[in-house]
C-alpha cells in the first residue's frame, strides 16, 4: 500500500467511513464547489440576457425571468435595435469593433514576436535597461497620455489622414503602441523556455537566423502567440475609454461607444433593454473566437522538442 493511501484509509476507519464512501463524499464536495463557482460566473450573463428580453427599459423592474403577457414582446428590444439601421447602425458598430480588434491583435502579435525573440536570444548593449524601461512605461495608465495622443493623431492626420484623429487606423495605432511592453515581456518569457538547442541545431544545419525564427521558433511558440492574440482581441473589442475620446463620427464608432452614447449616456432616457440586447449580440464575436481557438489556447508546450 502506498504512503499516500495509508492516511486516507486510517482517516476513513477513524471516521467510520469506508474508503469508497470517503471518495464519494470528496467528489460531492468538489461538485458542489464547482456548481457554486459556475453559478457565480454565469449569473451576470443570465441577468443581461434576461434584461435584453424585458420590454421595459428600466432596471428597477428587472427580474431574472421576464414577466410579460405577450411572448412576442420578448424580442421587442432586438427588433427595435436591428430594425432601425438609420437610427442605430448597430451592425456598422459591430463591424468596426471586429475589424479594429482583429487588425490590432494581428499587429500586436506580428510586432511583438520578433521583438521578444531578439530580447530572448541576443545580447546587445542596453538590453536590460530597455526591458525595464518598457515595463516601467506600462505602469502609467493611458489616460495620462491622452492629451499627447490626441495631439499626435491630429498632427499625423495632416500628412497621413488614414491614421489621424477620428479614424479607425489612428485608434489601431494607439492600441498597438499601448500593448507592446507587457506582451513583449510575456512572449520573451515563453521564448526563454524554448530550448536553445533548437536554434543551435538549425544553425549547424545551415539555416539563417531568420529561417530559424520562422521555421523553428514560431511553430514552437504557437500557444503563446494565440493566447496573446486572443487576449488582445477580447481586450480591444471591449475597450471603451480611448475609443470614446478618439472617435467622433457616428459611422466610426465601435460597438461599446455606440451602445453607451445611444442607450446609457442620456440622463432621462436610458434604454437598458436595447443596451442589453446589443451587449448580448456583441458577445458573439469573442465567443466564436474562444470556441474556434480553445484547443490551441489550452494546448502545446515544447516538451519533447529536444530528445533527452
Written out in words, the top-level CATH class of the domain with range 90-298 is mainly alpha
Residues spanned by CATH 1.10.3720.10 within the chain? Answer: 90-298
Whether the predicted pLDDT of 48 surpasses 80: yes
Helix, coil or strand: residue 75: helix
The one-character DSSP state at 144 is: G
Helical axes 168-193 vs 90-121, angle rounded to 10°? 40
pTM equals 0.82
d(C-alpha 177, C-alpha 148), whole Å: 13
Question: Rounded mean pLDDT of 10-17?
Answer: 54
92-128 pLDDT, tens digit per residue, is 999 999 999 999 999 999 999 999 999 998 888 888 8
Can you give the pLDDT at residue 14? 52
Report pLDDT for 305.
Answer: 40
In SS3 terms, 237-274 reads as HCCCHHHHHHCCCHHHCCHHHHHHHHHCCCCCCCCHHH
Q: Name the one residue in this structure whose C-alpha cell is 525573440.
A: 117
Sequence-distant (≥ 6) Cβ neighbours of residue 168 within 8 angstroms = 96, 99, 100, 247, 252
Q: Please give the grid coordinates belonging to residue 256.
A: 461599446
Backbone CA torsion sign across 56, 60, 61, 65? positive
Tell me the pLDDT band of 262, cut-offs 50, 70 and 90.
Answer: confident
Considering just the CA atoms, what is the radius of gyration of the chain in Å? 26
135-156 pLDDT tens trace: 887 777 777 788 888 889 999 8
The answer on pLDDT for 294 being more than 90 is no
Amino acid at each position: 500500500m502506498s504512503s499516500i493511501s495509508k492516511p486516507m484509509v486510517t482517516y476513513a476507519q477513524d471516521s467510520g467511513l469506508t474508503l469508497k464512501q470517503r471518495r464519494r463524499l470528496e467528489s460531492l464536495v468538489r461538485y458542489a464547489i464547482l456548481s457554486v463557482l459556475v453559478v457565480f460566473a454565469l449569473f451576470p450573463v443570465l441577468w443581461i440576457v434576461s434584461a435584453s428580453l424585458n420590454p421595459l427599459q428600466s432596471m428597477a423592474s428587472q427580474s431574472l425571468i421576464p414577466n410579460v403577457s405577450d411572448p412576442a414582446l420578448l424580442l421587442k428590444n432586438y427588433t427595435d435595435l436591428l430594425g432601425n439601421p438609420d437610427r442605430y447602425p448597430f451592425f456598422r458598430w459591430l463591424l468596426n469593433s471586429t475589424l479594429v480588434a482583429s487588425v490590432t491583435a494581428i499587429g500586436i502579435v506580428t510586432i511583438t514576436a520578433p521583438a521578444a525573440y531578439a530580447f530572448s536570444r541576443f545580447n546587445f548593449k542596453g538590453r536590460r535597461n530597455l526591458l525595464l524601461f518598457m515595463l516601467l512605461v506600462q505602469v502609467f495608465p493611458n489616460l495620462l497620455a491622452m492629451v499627447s495622443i490626441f495631439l499626435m493623431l491630429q498632427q499625423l492626420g495632416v500628412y497621413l489622414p488614414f491614421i489621424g484623429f477620428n479614424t479607425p487606423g489612428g485608434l489601431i495605432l494607439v492600441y498597438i503602441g499601448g500593448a507592446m511592453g507587457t506582451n513583449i515581456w510575456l512572449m520573451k518569457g515563453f521564448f526563454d523556455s524554448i530550448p536553445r538547442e533548437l536554434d543551435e541545431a538549425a544553425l549547424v544545419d545551415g539555416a539563417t537566423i531568420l529561417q530559424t525564427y520562422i521555421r523553428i521558433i514560431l511553430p514552437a511558440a504557437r500557444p503563446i502567440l494565440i493566447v496573446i492574440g486572443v487576449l488582445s482581441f477580447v481586450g480591444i473589442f471591449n475597450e471603451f475609454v480611448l475609443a470614446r475620446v478618439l472617435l467622433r463620427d457616428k459611422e466610426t464608432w465601435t460597438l461599446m461607444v455606440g451602445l453607451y452614447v445611444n442607450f446609457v449616456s442620456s440622463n432621462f432616457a436610458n434604454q437598458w433593454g436595447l443596451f442589453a440586447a446589443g451587449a448580448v449580440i456583441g458577445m458573439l464575436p469573442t465567443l466564436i473566437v474562444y470556441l474556434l481557438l480553445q484547443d490551441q489556447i489550452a494546448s502545446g508546450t515544447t516538451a519533447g522538442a529536444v530528445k533527452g
